[in-house]
Amino acid sequence: MALSELQQHLQSRGILVADGGIGTYLMASGTDMRALPLMPVAAPEAVFQLHLDYLNRGAQVIETHTFEANASKLGSLGLVEDVYTLNRRAAQIARHARDTHGSPSFIVGALGPLAVGVDAAVGPGITYRDAVQIYRESVQGLVAGGVDGFIIETMSDRQTVRAAVEAVREESPLPIIVTFAFSPAGETLYGLTPEDAMNFAAELPGGPPFLVGANCGSGPAPLLDAVIRMAPIAKHHGIALAAYPNAGEPSRRGGHIQYPASPEYVGTIAPALRAAGAVIIGGCCGTTPEHIAAVARSLADLRVWSMPHWDPMVPESHPMVEPSLATAQRGVRALFENRFVVSVELDPPRGVTVSRLLEAARTVYNEGVDVVNIGDSPMARVRLSALATARLIEEQIPLQTILHFTTRDRNLMGIQSDLLGAHALGLRNVLCLTGDPPGLGDYAHATAVYDLDSIGLVKVLEGFNQGHDALGQAIGTSTHFDIGVGMNPNAADLDHEIDRSLRKLEAGAQFIMLQPIYDPVILYEFLEKARLPAHIPVMLGVMPLVSYRQALYLHNEVPGINIPTPILEQLASHIDGETLGADLAIELIDALSHVVAGVYLVPSYNRISSLLPIIQHIRRLRPVSGSNSPPFDG
């Protein structure tokens, strides 16, 4: 069986700091003990904040607030609640805290004792099969909530442990931690010694749990003694240990429960627990985020130590290599610093076959193109996802991409989700567009969303770069997007276009891509009137014409494109429209290259052959030494 992420991490790193007390901390903050089990549904924000506090103090493993979230315990307290939903919600809250914090960490679903014994010889109890079913209901909710493993904790008897382990294994292959609670005399409530507990766990049906250990008890020192007694048997069976000491024997002072062990004292016990074989060390009743911070500090300088046993048949895992900061921040703006940037616009295919597109990208790369920009279902016609297309290109060809991203097709949640996904996939350049209305394309009945326009999209990306989402909530780590916007020098209402353009720059836009033009005067007039900041790179859009019929179509039916009458007349009287179109494009670039930082070339019908003479001309006049690798054929 493949190792879980939690197992892989311990194999490569050797030790993890866990969180501390949850119930005792919430009660110390004013929560009534009877209300405690229902906090995930009654007061989720308080649980979320506690999880986040532990993560901020160094915890790498957090438990769900589900210690009493089983039908037996809830019933004994007179509480009625959907057990599945309660456990699922608790796991989701823990995941939300982890996602907000952003660092690698793990969530274990907590399963505590039942209210009565299992197959008890005396006193009230339930049958073993009923106990398994009670635990299964909790486990199902935890699995649905997305836990990384389970901790069956504060255990005292064999049958309860056996039932809980069976319930987990019936529902999930995730790793299991089992911890027992020992008294100062070194026994559980049902008389198990540390040696008894370890031998029992090692012989469980289906094999021993992932980790076995001790939690709670009477304080750090007695728990350390129990772990030391368990260690030789654990080593014999190849089982690593887990340790969650509490903060000592509680006492009541002034109506409040207090625990005597200070954070510093608990921190001093942690290295000894680790030396005894504990690979997960946290805290239990009475411990707080300050206690866990002390544990994390005391373990920080210890040498990485390997787990005592791993199945030799399992392939060795390799930790993921994080990208360097320079790689993480790579974007198109850096290219403008040392070259005249050339991009080619490529539209994704109508279907799922991308071989032709990739071949086109390879060809333009070998000709010296620096970047390709990927249309997002242009003209409101359905095509392969621009995000997926950009990723496929960057995976196979050493080219950056500029992802066209329209707000037309996504609500605010979808916009943010897709953009975060793009960043996680390594895409750094985004051109912010509102998008053509669906009525222009094949799906006239489709509904446009437009929660945002392009200005709002720029603000979202700028917020991500500052580390928060559209609501101001932290996303854990700042992104490194290069934010582009489109501008149209051909606009009928030029004042309105310039006003929107400047608002895009105020919102955080970092480079500009101009709609294709065919008359240099249009650009000069636009730049003179707009007074764009000198530090913002501007890319000129150039769409070489290939025929008179195409020119008429663009002029009359494509919004934002105007073709001067003299050019239409030349094409009408010229047999080889493609050659003339390339010549006209070269003349335009030569006339304007001193006022722009680059060009993006738009091929007609996605055929790049007409662009090659233009690219070659630009690179003859503006070579870039060492800009590209040798020709790419892979």
What would the mean pLDDT of 583-612 be, rounded to a whole number? 92
Question: How many angstroms separate the CA atoms of 610 and 604, rounded?
Answer: 8
Q: Which two tokens stand for residue 530?
A: 């707009």
Region for 102 from its dihedrals, namely left if φ exceeds 0, alpha if ψ lies in -120 to 50, beta otherwise: left
Would 475 be classed as within a structural domain? Answer: yes
- Which pLDDT score is estimated for 492? 86
Pair (571, 440) in one structural domain: yes
The 10 Å Cβ neighbour count of residue 599 is 26
User: Which contiguous run of DSSP H or E holds residue 108?
Assistant: strand 106-111
Question: How many angstroms separate the CA atoms of 536 and 517, rounded?
Answer: 19
Could you tell me the pLDDT band of residue 601, with boundaries at 50, 70 and 90? very high
- Which pLDDT score is estimated for 629? 43
User: Which contiguous run of DSSP H or E holds residue 20?
Assistant: none
Helices 83-101 and 44-56: crossing angle in degrees, nearest 10, is 40
Residue 272's CATH number: 3.20.20.330
Q: Which residues, at least 6 apart from 381, have a Cβ–Cβ distance to it below 8 Å?
A: 350, 441, 442
Report how far apart, in Å, the C-alpha atoms of 434 and of each of 380, 419, 451 are: 11, 15, 10
Pair (228, 89) in one structural domain: yes
> For 499, what's the count of Cα atoms within 13 Å in the CB-facing half-sphere?
4
Report how far apart, in Å, the C-alpha atoms of 257 and of each of 25, 29, 250, 251 are: 10, 11, 6, 6
- Which pLDDT score is estimated for 382? 78
- Which pLDDT score is estimated for 291? 97
Model confidence over 166-190: pLDDT tens digits?
A: 999 999 999 999 999 999 889 999 9
Pair (386, 286) in one structural domain: no
Question: How many angstroms separate the CA atoms of 167 and 317, rounded?
Answer: 29
- Which pLDDT score is estimated for 442? 53
Could you tell me the pLDDT band of residue 630, with boundaries at 50, 70 and 90? very low
336 close to 308: Cβ distance less than 8 angstroms: no
pLDDT at residue 432 tops 90:
yes
Pair (278, 343) in one structural domain: no
Report how far apart, in Å, the C-alpha atoms of 79 and of each of 36, 75, 76, 117, 588 are: 11, 6, 8, 19, 77
Model confidence over 379-404: pLDDT tens digits?
A: 556 788 999 999 999 999 999 999 99
Q: Which two tokens stand for residue 48?
A: 């979320």
Q: At 448, is the secondary structure helix, strand, or coil? A: coil
Could you tell me the pLDDT band of residue 146, with boundaries at 50, 70 and 90? very high
Would 527 be classed as within a structural domain? Answer: yes
Report how far apart, in Å, the C-alpha atoms of 477 and of each of 91, 138, 218, 327, 566 are: 22, 33, 40, 15, 53
Pair (355, 280) in one structural domain: no
Q: At 21, is the secondary structure helix, strand, or coil? A: coil
> CA dihedral defined by 491, 440, 599, 608, rounded to 10 degrees?
-150
Question: How many angstroms separate the CA atoms of 89 and 147, rounded?
Answer: 11
Would 306 be classed as within a structural domain? Answer: no
- Which pLDDT score is estimated for 314? 32
Question: How many angstroms separate the CA atoms of 541 and 538, rounded?
Answer: 10
Could you tell me the pLDDT band of residue 447, with boundaries at 50, 70 and 90? low
Pair (133, 281) in one structural domain: yes
- Which pLDDT score is estimated for 310? 33
User: Which contiguous run of DSSP H or E holds residue 307?
Assistant: none
Would 155 be classed as within a structural domain? Answer: yes
Pair (338, 287) in one structural domain: no
- Which pLDDT score is estimated for 434? 87
Q: Which two tokens stand for residue 209?
A: 């749990």
pLDDT at residue 575 tops 90:
no
233 close to 281: Cβ distance less than 8 angstroms: no
The 10 Å Cβ neighbour count of residue 457 is 28
- Which pLDDT score is estimated for 87? 97
Question: How many angstroms separate the CA atoms of 468 and 475, rounded?
Answer: 5
| Distance from the Cα of residue 386 to its chain's centroid | 20
> Which of the listed residues 284, 300, 316 is the one where a domain comes to its end?
300
Whole-prediction pTM: 0.58
Question: How many angstroms separate the CA atoms of 195 and 104, rounded?
Answer: 34
Pair (294, 334) in one structural domain: no
What would the mean pLDDT of 289-308 be, rounded to a whole number? 76
Could you tell me the pLDDT band of residue 306, with boundaries at 50, 70 and 90? very low
What would the mean pLDDT of 135-144 be, rounded to a whole number? 96
How many angstroms separate the first and last alpha carbons of the chain?
35
Residue 601's CATH number: 3.20.20.220
- Which pLDDT score is estimated for 329? 52
- Which pLDDT score is estimated for 626? 45
Could you tell me the pLDDT band of residue 370, with boundaries at 50, 70 and 90? very high
- Which pLDDT score is estimated for 525? 93
pLDDT at residue 301 tops 90:
no
Burial 385-404 (b: 16+ CB within 10 A, else e): ebbebbbbbbeebebbbbbb
Pair (217, 85) in one structural domain: yes
Backbone angles phi, psi at 123, to 5 degrees: 75, 180
Strand runs (DSSP E) across 506-591, as ranges? 511-514, 538-542
What would the mean pLDDT of 12-29 be, rounded to a whole number? 91
Could you tell me the pLDDT band of residue 1, with boundaries at 50, 70 and 90? very low
Pair (564, 470) in one structural domain: yes
Beta-strand pair 251-253/256-258: antiparallel
Would 8 be classed as within a structural domain? Answer: no
Cα angle 572-575-577, degrees, rounded to a multiple of 5: 75
Model confidence over 116-136: pLDDT tens digits?
A: 999 877 667 899 999 999 999
- Which pLDDT score is estimated for 616? 96
Would 9 be classed as within a structural domain? Answer: no
pLDDT at residue 321 tops 50:
no
Would 632 be classed as within a structural domain? Answer: no
532 close to 512: Cβ distance less than 8 angstroms: yes
Pair (459, 361) in one structural domain: yes
Q: Which two tokens stand for residue 416?
A: 């943010």
Beta-strand pair 482-487/511-514: parallel
Report how far apart, in Å, the C-alpha atoms of 485 and of each of 211, 382, 404, 512 are: 53, 22, 9, 5
Higher pLDDT among residues 622 and 470, named by residue? 470
413 close to 469: Cβ distance less than 8 angstroms: no
pLDDT at residue 308 tops 70:
no
pLDDT at residue 546 tops 90:
no
333 close to 371: Cβ distance less than 8 angstroms: no
Would 333 be classed as within a structural domain? Answer: yes
Higher pLDDT among residues 164 and 323, named by residue? 164
Q: Into how many domains does the chain fold?
A: 2
Residues spanned by the domain of 398: 325-621
Share of the chain above pLDDT 90, in %: 71
Pair (240, 337) in one structural domain: no
Share of the chain above pLDDT 70, in %: 90
Among residues 271, 198, 272, 211, which one has the least CA distance to residue 241?
211
For the chain, the average pLDDT equals: 88
